[in-house]
Chains A and B, each alone.
Chain A
Amino acid sequence: MKEEVKLMKGNEAIAHAAVRYGCDGYFGYPITPQSEVLETLEALMPWETTGMVVLQAESEVASINMVYGGASTGKAVMTSSSSPGISLMQEGMSYIAAGELPALVVNVMRGGPGLGTIQPSQSDYFQATKGGGHGDYHYIVLAPSTVQEMADFVALGFDLAFKYRTPAMLLADGIVGQMMEKVVLPEPRPRRTAEEIARQCPWAVTGNPSDRKPNVLTTLELESDKMEVNNRRLQATYRQIEQNEVRYQEYFTDDAEVVFVAFGSIARICLKAIEDARGQGIKVGLLRPITLWPFPTEEISRLANRVKGMMVVELNAGQMIEDVKLAVEGRVPVYHYGRMGGVIPNPQEVFDATLSHFPFLKK
């Protein structure tokens, strides 16, 4: 056995990856099914090694505003929560996006609406990709489906957040948060020095040295003309992100008659259904969006030219299917299979639902 291969939960992997990334601060409040993120950070005690701050705040609202403050100083800061807690953070998310600040927010989704259940769900897709707070804003949304991706996307999320000066979200669910599998953790790297932060983030508010003008970060602009300029700048960044950062993975799509579109852990359940179907000679494939925003619209549009239909499978009532339909533009039928409230379908149920919509697949 190679020494660096570990067995851990997705939530634990996030904590380890954050410390190893050189994250400067984590601010959070416990909630199932992601409490292991904070618990693991407390056990790792990174304040004694890298100097990373780990703080259990008094609430989610406080956590996101601590992130807002930390991000304003150019530090790599993050929070994590689960659905109801992320709802509480939406005002802060809008401010961080408007302030053009890099930050990482982890949502390990559970069943809603309301206080809901503690079981896995994907019902925050709309909130994450369409903007859950007020105003015209987006942030990058990464959807991990393995424990390895839980670890890898911490670094990816931070890197993209700093590259585009935008918040990034790791949108996971209770399955990939709670399950254990093998993971290779990234090489530890030191936290950035004050000089490195000043170079990377000339906009950061780090005090008022005599050799430059004071930096001011505000999301308030009372003159509409100027506020529209701010909005145009945000929109220009979003177009750039849409052009450069779409990520997805395809499985067995080359000869597929029907393609599944699914993200996160449910994509793995679809993949098992596909493996079983392929065993019977049934040609189905999978497109797994890795970035939910920006969405792989172009690739889905290309697929729509050569498949007979698409099957969107989600742990919700039908959210991502809207983006799939926009990409398909009515060229082929698009159906949905979803479970809600924390119920997880098994591969057979996914397959049966698919056959009911596409009976020609039956051999």
Chain B
Amino acid sequence: MKTEIIAAGFGGQGVLSMGKILAYAGLIDDLEVTWMPSYGPEQRGGTANVTVVISDKPISSPVLDSYDTAVVLNQQSLDKFEPKVKPGGSLIYDPYGIHRLPTRTDINIYPVAAMDAAMELKSAKSYNMIILGALLKINPIVSIESVMTGLKKTLPERHHHLLPANREAISRGMELI
């Protein structure tokens, strides 16, 4: 089983980190993973995207032309990646700031109001974890336990008190689907 994902948005929204957490959880689940970032010289405010492949077999290319799942968090990314979702695949987007909606009928489209949910949680930083929760509800590529183990291993110990908040944000994301 191989899952090919693109996550795209503004720099600072946390798409690269979300991809990294996903890849790390894949590693813990003993799967093959590649994480391939693409961003300009500026990290905040510019557009950034990351391609994550998780597979039970060796992965040839970290660069792809079509995706099983696209997570798009701004209008440019939606415009760019909606046509590149494989038929039958999934498009996840946050309606916040989106004025041209996706139009394809041969893919599954999931609006996830993660920005509103992050405001409710009073935690802008939990935004990408809410998105991750939604993604994993739609396609449980990796287990939530592995995500949490991965977070615990990659976060410095001084940030471990934030783990419950991250878990809550993932749950909130899952509820949005």
Chain A positions near chain B (C-beta within 8 angstroms): 1, 5, 7, 32, 118, 175, 178-182, 265, 268-269, 271-272, 275, 344, 346-349
18 inter-chain pairs at a CB distance below 8 angstroms, sorted by A residue, are: A1-B30, A7-B23, A7-B35, A32-B41, A175-B63, A178-B37, A179-B62, A181-B33, A181-B35, A181-B62, A182-B32, A182-B33, A265-B63, A268-B60, A268-B63, A272-B60, A275-B60, A347-B64
How many whole Å from B46's CB to the nearest CB in chain A?
A: 12
Q: Other CB < 8 Å A-B pairs besides A118-B41, A182-B27, A347-B64, 17 of them?
A: A1-B30, A32-B41, A175-B62, A179-B36, A179-B37, A179-B62, A180-B20, A181-B59, A181-B62, A268-B60, A268-B63, A271-B61, A272-B61, A272-B64, A275-B60, A344-B63, A349-B65
Taking CB atoms, residues of chain B closer than 8 Å to A1 are 27-30
How many inter-chain residue pairs (CB < 8 Å) link A and B?
A: 62
Answer whether residue B10 sits at the interface, using C-beta atoms and an 8 A cutoff: no
Once A179-B34, A179-B36, A180-B34 are accepted as A-B contacts, the answer to whether A347 and B27 lie under 8 Å apart by CB is no
Across the interface, name the chain B residue whose C-beta is closest to A117: B41
Taking CB atoms, residues of chain B closer than 8 Å to A275 are 60
Is there contact, CB below 8 Å, between B61 and A347?
Answer: yes
Instruction: Please tell me the number of chain B residues within 8 Å of chain A, measured between CB atoms.
Output: 22
Once A1-B28, A1-B30 are accepted as A-B contacts, the answer to whether A346 and B64 lie under 8 Å apart by CB is yes
Taking CB atoms, residues of chain B closer than 8 Å to A175 are 36, 62-63
Q: Give which listed residue, B27, B30, B61, B65, contacts A7 with CB less than 8 A.
A: B27
CA distance A271 to B57 in the complex (A): 14
Taking CB atoms, residues of chain B closer than 8 Å to A269 are 61, 63
How many whole Å from B12's CB to the nearest CB in chain A?
A: 18
Answer whether residue B127 sits at the interface, using C-beta atoms and an 8 A cutoff: no
Answer whether residue B93 sits at the interface, using C-beta atoms and an 8 A cutoff: no
Taking CB atoms, residues of chain A closer than 8 Å to B35 are 7, 179-181
How many whole Å from A157's CB to the nearest CB in chain B?
A: 23
CA distance A118 to B66 in the complex (A): 25
How many whole Å from A178's CB to the nearest CB in chain B?
A: 6
How many whole Å from A174's CB to the nearest CB in chain B?
A: 10
Across the interface, name the chain B residue whose C-beta is closest to A5: B27
Taking CB atoms, residues of chain A closer than 8 Å to B62 are 175, 179, 181, 265, 268
Q: Give which listed residue, B20, B27, B63, contacts A346 with CB less than 8 A.
A: B63
Once A175-B62, A344-B63 are accepted as A-B contacts, the answer to whether A7 and B37 lie under 8 Å apart by CB is no
